[in-house]
Structure formats: structure tokens, C-alpha cells
């Protein structure tokens, strides 16, 4: 599951409106397929991993960071793809809170005789999918307030000159945060003085 989480993070910031899911397929203690949600949310992580695994997926264990979907959208349901592939067990980190899924993926898998387990590294998966979950549960976006300041509480030099306050590792954390959000806002003064690009870099 740790590898599935790592794979899912590769898609963060690029899969909207879908979550950035990671999937690993294992058979006889060997990884036979891996995938993550592709740009714009298709194909899904499970589809990518199943394509890699091919016929070997029959009887395999699947580790996925979010409950496989159960509805027809821009792609067919991943739950049905897993059933059709003949996998034996699906371990999902957390359920999908999207009302179109919300337990139906797990229900479909169990009805087909597939063992379903939930909760492995669930806290980490919840953190990775926080924006998606918050939107589907509350209808509101995930909002993060970030400020960089010097030890004396300032955000610029005494002359107003712009310079880095944070070090390189801290800036990488900020760019990772940007990748998890759909938008970045700054104050008008910052926009006029610095003309920031507000892109994701240094990851």
C-alpha cells in the first residue's frame, strides 16, 4: 500500500476532477502491475495496473488507495474491471465518499466473491485524498492558509525588497502543497510587487 500511495502522489495536481489514486497488483509476492490516475482522471489507476498485469491478474491481490469506482463516467467502473480480471482480493486504504460510489465498489466486489479489506494506511490515504474527500463530503474546497515570515514576523525586508525568507526544503513543501490544490491566491500587494508565477516547481 505504501507503494500505491507513492504512485498516487505522481498524479497530484493533474487528475482533477478525479482523485490521484495509486494501485499495485501483487501475485506470489511479486508486483505484476502498478498504476496511478492519469491526467484529467483517465485512465484510472486500476485500469493502468490491470493493463500491465494482463492475464496474470487472475487470482492476484490488488492494493488501491481509494475504493474502486462503481459507476459509468468518462471511464467504465474499475470495480467491474477488477471482477472481469478475476482478482482474488482488493485491499483499499479508504472508502470513496463520492455519492456515486460510497461503498458500492466494495459491494460489487464482494458480490463477485472477491475478498475486500479496508483501512491499510488509511490515515495516509485520507491525507493524500483530503481535497477530493472534503469536496465530495461537504461540497466545499480544501483551503490551506500558508504564510512565510522571518523570526521577527516580517514578510519582506525593511525597504520592501523581495527576497527568499524560506529555505529550499521549505519551498519544496510549499510546491507540494500547491500540487494538491486547484488554485493559489495571493494578496494584491504581492501580485503587484513580485508578479509571482504561482506554478508548481522543484518537486
**Which listed residue (46, 67, 117, 161) is catalytic?**
46
* Catalytic residue check, 46: yes
Q: Identify the residue whose cell numbers are 501483487.
A: 26
**Cα distance between residue 96 and residue 67, in whole Å:** 5
Task: Output the CA angle 148-152-157, nearest 5 degrees.
Answer: 70
**Cα distance between residue 166 and residue 148, in whole Å:** 7
Q: Is the peptide bond between 81 and the residue preceding it cis, with omega within 30 degrees of 0?
A: no
Given strand 30-36, what is the order of strands in its sheet? 30-36, 22-27, 61-64, 89-92, 115-118
CB proximity list for 54: less than 8 A, separation 6 or greater: 33
The cell for 57 is 491478474
| Beta-sheet strands, E only, within 48-188 | 61-64, 89-92, 115-118
Q: Is the peptide bond between 43 and the residue preceding it cis, with omega within 30 degrees of 0?
A: yes
Active site residues: 46
Amino acid at each position: 500500500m505504501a507503494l500505491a500511495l507513492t504512485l498516487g502522489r505522481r498524479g497530484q495536481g493533474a487528475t482533477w476532477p478525479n482523485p490521484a489514486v495509486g494501485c499495485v497488483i501483487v501475485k506470489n509476492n511479486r508486483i505484476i502491475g502498478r498504476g496511478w490516475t492519469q491526467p484529467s482522471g483517465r485512465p484510472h489507476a486500476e485500469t493502468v495496473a490491470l493493463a500491465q498485469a494482463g492475464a496474470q491478474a487472475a487470482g492476484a491481490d490488488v492494493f488501491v488507495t481509494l475504493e474502486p469506482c462503481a459507476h459509468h463516467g468518462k471511464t467504465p467502473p474499475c470495480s467491474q474491471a477488477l471482477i472481469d480480471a478475476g482478482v482474488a482480493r482488493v485491499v483499499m486504504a479508504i472508502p470513496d465518499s463520492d455519492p456515486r460510489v460510497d461503498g458500492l465498489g466494495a459491494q460489487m466486489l464482494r458480490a463477485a466473491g472477491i475478498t475486500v479489506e479496508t483501512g491499510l494506511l488509511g490515515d495516509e490515504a485520507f491525507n493524500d485524498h483530503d481535497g477530493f474527500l472534503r469536496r465530495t463530503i461537504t461540497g466545499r474546497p480544501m483551503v490551506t492558509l500558508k504564510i512565510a515570515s522571518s523570526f521577527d514576523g516580517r514578510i519582506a525586508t525593511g525597504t520592501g525588497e523581495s527576497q527568499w525568507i524560506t529555505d529550499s526544503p521549505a519551498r519544496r513543501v510549499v510546491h507540494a502543497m500547491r500540487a494538491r490544490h486547484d488554485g493559489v491566491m495571493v494578496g494584491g500587494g504581492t501580485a503587484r510587487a513580485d508578479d509571482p508565477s504561482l506554478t508548481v516547481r522543484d518537486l
